[in-house]
Amino acid sequence: MTLTKKNITKHISNTTNLSIKESQLFFESFLKVIKEKSITNNIKINKFGSFYYKLTPKRYGRNPKTGTMHVIKPFNRFIFKTSNNIKNLLN
């Protein structure tokens, strides 16, 4: 089963007596706070994982069809690293 926002909001709604709209609003606001705060700081949720941005360096890419080389600009990548508790639970 793939975890999607829709599946997560349904699960929140079923377990907390919130409506689907309220659980969607809760989940979207949670993600928004995590994204905004992790721009300046690393966000760590105990026994769950860490959220942070990582700057990827400039690199060279190649178009596989034409073979032409071009520069891929550096950019910030949003990263989630799971805690060991979650890793052990899944394995």
- For residue 1, what pLDDT is reported? 60
Residues 58, 71 contacting (CB under 8 angstroms): yes
Domain residue limits, the chain: 1-37, 41-91
The predicted-structure confidence for 25-63, as pLDDT tens digits, reads as follows: 999 999 999 988 888 889 999 999 999 999 999 999 999
Q: Which option is the CATH number for 41-91: 3.40.50.700, 1.10.10.10, 2.60.120.10, 4.10.520.10?
A: 4.10.520.10
In this model, does residue 89 exceed pLDDT 90?
no
Residues 37, 43 contacting (CB under 8 angstroms): yes
Query: CA 27, 74, 4: angle at the middle one, nearest 5?
Result: 20
- For residue 90, what pLDDT is reported? 83
- For residue 26, what pLDDT is reported? 94
If you average pLDDT over every residue of the chain, what do you get? 91
pTM for the full model?
A: 0.67
Residues 63, 70 contacting (CB under 8 angstroms): yes
